[in-house]
Structure 1
């Protein structure tokens, strides 16, 4: 296993960088790589020591399961039971920013640390061409939560990963900025009804158009059934206040639409796609500015606005 204080190498998105990243993953290393949503911290999902290294690098609680990334639906079928509804959803939305929670296939080569002991697996097929190339070159299922310290702002650029995890992981494969900018939507098809576990880069309306109304019942227990469900998450260093039309003295305004005096505006045009793509980059920038109190303009609770508001509510939640 890599040493916790070793040098983290920045790899170019070329044939040599890709080959090095794939070899590191096969050898039990930890490599951050871009997806269309955010950068993920990847390791061989079947290697328990490598998966434990993800938790150690992030400071992530081991009861919080990980998403496994595979290159295509055929690879997902080798790990999970894929019911008919899941086949149809996958055909419509994979590759893309959708994670499916499915029953884990008996004997699947996945470490129990990945599932946090559950009998289900969170799995997705990313659309980013570099992520696709890495998965095919590595030849193993890759467990990959967001490549940031646990609870902090998710990374949408290689520099964000280096700032947060430099010295804790082996390498970062630099594929430029992520286009979607918020994590994948998580849908469970492991039970009797389709259940939305996390808003994300695929608007829930697109799923409901295919499946009908989704169950949004929160988990009854204290341990999450999928990633991204912790109450306090995605947090900048400053305290966050939401739905603000008039910031108080000393607050730094993160704007949306026609927000006068905003230090950073997620989208002056009020475009939710632009706002989602810029969200985590803006929170990193507010950290760099030293913002101690952050006011956020109201954002519509529709489409990608649901995912943006989900992340902001978790960023604003009380912290331990």
Structure 2
């Protein structure tokens, strides 16, 4: 496993990454959302290696990362609503689930055999790398499947280690939550996963309220829809009002939990009550809490507005019963 700092030599990091990808290897790369575990989306063996390294179920589709709308149009069909959303939010933390074009070169494992593909254009280094590679990258979060997502290169190294050929260190992820995933349909726009772009911002552009999926969705249409996901090793309890000895407490805006004085650690996602800051800190805070907890992790209530919807989505899945 090699770790390269992008800040020290960006062009060298890009060249090394392209060489690794062209040889069928996996790289961990920073995006504005979280770190991704990336492979050439047109190479079936490389994509299969993503599932193997993560321990990810093969019915769970991957996001295909593109350099721009023009590249995305090679692989998926855009309707008018999809065009409007892409123009407004790409590059950025929005993933669109769109119909695959006949004969699209992405490997079927990437889409889990569905007739749709989840596509996104990231910002910064990841985007420039894809433009140079000139192929889409299949890239779920760079962590063991079902566990807490990685927001630093150090998180990736601690979790996946030598199972990744190359880790590119771009510093902490700016947003800290995975992308928001929506699916434009004839009926409107479905919100498949809340994420780093608030639903209200999307609704302001598309002019309709996003339809939320039913609690028991019959099919997995996009990443992040499994009931149990983003889970720490310790049990996690949400909307907590009390804490017990040995608990690791995660709070928000200075909220006090009864019994927190006996907790193993108390961590505040944002002492000032800033949901953007809380989102950026969420996964790193969960990892720190998991290391400190000798009992369970308890989380104070988080407002369910703006990015709070995505934060609560991650916490609910982290707290869900595990198979």
* Residue deviations 1:200-244 (CA, integer Å, cap 9, x gap): 000001111222111213386654110000000001111111111
Instruction: Specify which of 125, 139, 146 is matched with residue 141 of structure 2.
Output: 146
Instruction: Specify which of 128, 136, 155 is matched with residue 133 of structure 1.
Output: 128
Kindly indicate whether residue 152 of structure 2 is the aligned counterpart of residue 157 of structure 1: yes
Q: Is the 8 A contact 1:63 1:223 kept in 2?
A: no
Please name the residue that 1:210 is paired with.
Answer: 205
Q: Is the 8 A contact 1:120 1:190 kept in 2?
A: no
Structure-to-structure mapping, 1:13-32, within 5 angstroms: 13=6, 14=9, 15-32=11-28
The alpha-carbon deviation at position 20 of structure 1 amounts to 0.3
SS at match of 2:38: strand
* Residue deviations 1:139-170 (CA, integer Å, cap 9, x gap): 21100000000000000000000111111121
Structure-to-structure mapping, 1:182-261, within 5 angstroms: 182-211=177-206, 212-218=208-214, 222-260=218-256, 261=260
SS at match of 2:74: helix
Please name the residue that 1:5 is paired with.
Answer: none
SS at match of 2:114: coil
Aligned mates of 1:137, 1:11 — CA distance in 2: 18
* Residue deviations 1:117-142 (CA, integer Å, cap 9, x gap): 10000000012x11112112222110
Structure-to-structure mapping, 1:263-278, within 5 angstroms: 263-278=266-281
Kindly indicate whether residue 168 of structure 2 is the aligned counterpart of residue 167 of structure 1: no
SS at match of 2:162: coil
Aligned mates of 1:308, 1:219 — CA distance in 2: 17
* CA RMSD in angstroms, aligned pairs only: 1.4
Aligned mates of 1:114, 1:20 — CA distance in 2: 23
Rate the CA distance shift 1:91–1:297 in 2: closer, same or farther, 3 A.
same
Instruction: Specify which of 293, 298, 302 is matched with residue 296 of structure 2.
Output: 293
Please name the residue that 1:111 is paired with.
Answer: 107
Rate the CA distance shift 1:290–1:18 in 2: closer, same or farther, 3 A.
farther
Q: Is the 8 A contact 1:43 1:142 kept in 2?
A: yes
Q: Is the 8 A contact 1:70 1:142 kept in 2?
A: yes
SS at match of 2:15: helix
Kindly indicate whether residue 299 of structure 2 is the aligned counterpart of residue 306 of structure 1: no
SS at match of 1:228: coil
The alpha-carbon deviation at position 43 of structure 1 amounts to 0.3
The alpha-carbon deviation at position 259 of structure 1 amounts to 2.7
Aligned mates of 2:217, 2:225 — CA distance in 1: 12
Where structure 2 has 5 or more consecutive residues not aligned to the other structure, the ranges are none
Where structure 1 has 5 or more consecutive residues not aligned to the other structure, the ranges are 1-7
* Residue deviations 1:50-107 (CA, integer Å, cap 9, x gap): 0000000000000000000001000111110011111111111111000000000111
Please name the residue that 2:93 is paired with.
Answer: 97
Please name the residue that 2:286 is paired with.
Answer: 283
